[in-house]
A and B are shown apart, each in its own frame.
Chain A
Amino acid sequence: MKKKILAIVVIVLFIGGVAGLNVVKIKKNPGVSVKTTKVVEGDIVKYAFAEGTIEPKTTENIYVYTPGTVKEVLVKPGQKVKAGQVVLRLDDAELKNQLKEAENQVELLEVQLSDAKKAEKLPGINQTSTKSLKVQLKSARDRVEMLKEKIRKTQLKTKLSGVVLAVNVEAGQTANPGVPVIVVGDLSGFKVKGRVNQFDAALISPGQKFTAQAEGLEREYTGIIETVEPQAVKTVSAQGEEIKVGFSGKITGDITGLKPGYKVDLKIEAGRKNGVLTLPFETIVERDTKKYVFIVLGDKVKLQEVKLGLSDDLKAQVLSGVKKGDLVVVNPPAELKDGDKVKVK
C-alpha cells in the first residue's frame, strides 16, 4: 500500500513539475526572438549585365572593284599600315594589253580623222565620215581612260592607318567584289558590341558607364554606352528563344591587353542614387502587393508600409515609411504580426 501511495505521490509531483515548468517558461516568454538592422543612408547602384565583343574603334574592309587574280599581297596580319599604303596588287597584264590596243586604236583614229579633215576640203567629198571618226575617237579615248582607271584600281590601298587584322586571299587566287580581301583596324581605341536581354534592355541607355572584364585578363576596363538599338531581335540558344537588344559602347580608359574579338562581361551602371535611405530586402515583407517592414518600438513591433525606389541585388531605396536610425526586423517570422512582443537578439 505504501508503495502505491509513494508511486502516486511521485507521479503527482512529476506531473506538477512538468506543468509548473511550462507555466513559468511561458509566462516568462520575452516575445518572438528577432534580428534587427537599422535604416541607414547609403548608395544604391543598379546594374545590368551583358556579354559583348571587343571591336576596333574603326575598321576598314578593303574590297576589289572587279574580279581578278591576286598578283601580290603586300601585308601580313598584325602588320602596321599607313593611310594610302598599297596593300595588295591584282594581276594587270591583261588590262595593260587592252590599254596598249586602245591607245593604238586612238592613234589610228587620230590619223584617219586628220586625213578625213584634209579630204573634206575637196569638192564632192561627204562630211559624214569626219563626224563618225570623231565619235569613234572619243569612244576610244574614253576606253583608254577607263582602262587606266582599272589598272590604277588593281593596286588596293588602305585609307586607314592601323593594323592589318585579316588577309583573306593569297597570291594566285581569284578575288571577287563583295568579300573583303584585307581588313584593317585602328587599334588606338576599342568599342564593344553586345546584346542584353529584354529585362536589362529596359535599364540601359546611352551615356551610362560600364566596366568590362575579359577572360584571362586580371583587370577591368571602363567605358560608356553609345547606342542602344531601337529594335529587339529574337535569338535562339541552348536555353531556348530569347529576345535581345543590341547596343554598342566605347572603351574609355586604358586598353592595354585588349584585342579585337575578345569576349567581355559587361556590368552596366543602369542607375545610381547616392546618400539615400536604404533597407535590406530581408527586412521587407509583401502583403497584398504592398511592401511593409516591422519597426521595433520598445519591446513591440509595428507593421509599417514603405514605398521603395531604386534597388540593387541586396537592398532598396526607401522613399517613405521609415526614417534614418529606425530599427527594423530582419527576416521577420511568418507568424509575426503588428503589435507582437519581440526580443531583439
Chain B
Amino acid sequence: MGLTNLIKVIYAPGEVFQEEWQKTNFWLSGIIIAVLNGFAAWLSMPVMLETMKKMLIDKIPPEQLTVALQGAKISGLIGAGITPFLIWLLIGLVLSLYSQFAGVEGKMGLYLKIAVLSWIPILLGNIIRNGLVYYMKPENYLDVKTSFLLLLPGEVKMDFIHIFMSKLDFFTLWGIVLLGYGYGKAFNTDTKKSIAFWLILFLLISIISAFFGGQSLQKMA
C-alpha cells in the first residue's frame, strides 16, 4: 500500500526498500505528498504574506502590492503542489545516470518511487516548519529554522557560513540519507557507499551555492 509505505519509511526504511517498495503506487503517494505539502504551505501563508508586505510596502504602489501578494499566494500554493513532482523527476534522472555509472539496471518508475519515498522526511520537515510558523506567528516566517542554522548563536548573517548552514536542513539530510540507503537496498548495492555518494554530492552543491549566493548577496548589500 502506498500510504503504509509512506509512514513506514520513517521508522523502518530497511523493510520498505527491501521488500515492499515496488508495491508503492507512485501517483497515489505523489498526490498525497503534494496535497500535504500544499497544506503545509497554506499554514504559513498568512505570516509569509505579512512578511512580504512589510518588505514591499515602501517599494511598490499599493495596487502592485495587492497583485504581488495575490500572485505570491497562488504561486506559493501551486508551487508547493507541483514542485515535488519536478524534483522527483530530477532525482529520478540523476539516479538513472548514477545507475549507468554503477552498472545497475533499473527502470525510471522504480527510481521515481525511491525519490518519492525518500522525500517523506522533507515533507515532514515542511509540515513541522510551517506548523511552527502557524503556531508561533513570528515577525518573519524565515525565523523558523530546521537547518543547522538553528544551532548557530547570534544573528543570521548573509555570509558563506550562515548560508551554507541554512542549506544543511536536518530533514533534507535525512531525506538524502534515505535516498542513498533506499537505492542501496533496492538494488542490492553497498548502502554506505551510496549514502556517502549522495551526501558528498549534496554537500558540494551546498558549498558552491552558498559561495556564489554569499557573493551575490554581498554585492546586493
For chain A, the count of residues having a C-beta within 8 Å of the partner chain is: 23
Q: A287-B58, A334-B58, A337-B54 are known contacts. Are A23 and B132 too (CB-CB below 8 A)?
A: yes
Is B42 engaged at the interface, CB distance under 8 Å to the other chain?
no
B54 contacts which of A11, A14, A335 (Cβ < 8 Å)? A335
- Residues of chain A contacted by B11 (CB below 8 angstroms): 4, 7-8, 11
B124 at interface by CB-CB < 8 Å? yes
Interface string of A19-62 (1 = CB under 8 A from B): 10111011001001100000000000000000000000000000
Interface segment, B27-35, B140-148, B192-200, B209-217? B140-148
User: Smallest CB-CB separation from A337: which chain B residue?
Assistant: B54
Main secondary structure of the interface of B (DSSP, over half): helix
Beta-carbon nearest neighbor of B147 in chain A: A18
CA A340 to CA B54, docked complex, whole Å: 12
Q: Let me know if B102 is at the binding interface, CB within 8 A.
A: no
Identify which of B58, B138, B155 contacts A33 (C-beta below 8 A): B155
Q: How far apart sit A334 and B144, CA to CA, in the bound complex (Å)?
A: 20
Decide if A111 is an interface residue (CB 8 Å cutoff). no
Q: Is the interface of A mostly helix, strand, loop or mixed?
A: helix
**Are B150 and A25 touching (Cβ within 8 A)?**
yes
**Chain A residues in 8 Å Cβ range of B155:** 33
Interface centre among A8, A25, A26, A29 (most CB of B within 10 A): A26
Count of chain B residues with a beta carbon within 8 Å of a chain A beta carbon = 23
- Min CB–CB distance A155 → chain B (angstroms): 73
B40-72 Cβ-contact flags toward A at 8 Å (1 or 0): 000000000001001100110000000000000
* Chain A, range 234-251, C-beta contacts under 8 Å to B: none
Q: Are A334 and B59 in contact (CB under 8 A)?
A: yes
Tell me if A15 counts as interface (CB < 8 A to partner B). yes
Q: Is residue A285 contacting chain B, with contact meaning CB distance below 8 A?
A: yes
B145 adjacent to A22 (CB under 8 Å) = yes
A15 touching B128 by the CB < 8 A rule? yes
Contacts of A334 in B (CB 8 A): 54-55, 58-59
Interface membership of B26, Cβ < 8 A: no
Residue of B nearest to A285 (CB): B58
Can you show 30 pairs from A to B with CB atoms below 8 A apart?
A: A3-B12, A4-B11, A4-B12, A7-B12, A11-B10, A14-B170, A15-B124, A15-B128, A18-B128, A18-B146, A18-B170, A19-B128, A19-B132, A21-B150, A22-B145, A22-B146, A22-B150, A23-B132, A25-B145, A26-B138, A29-B138, A32-B139, A33-B155, A285-B58, A287-B58, A334-B55, A334-B59, A335-B51, A335-B140, A337-B54
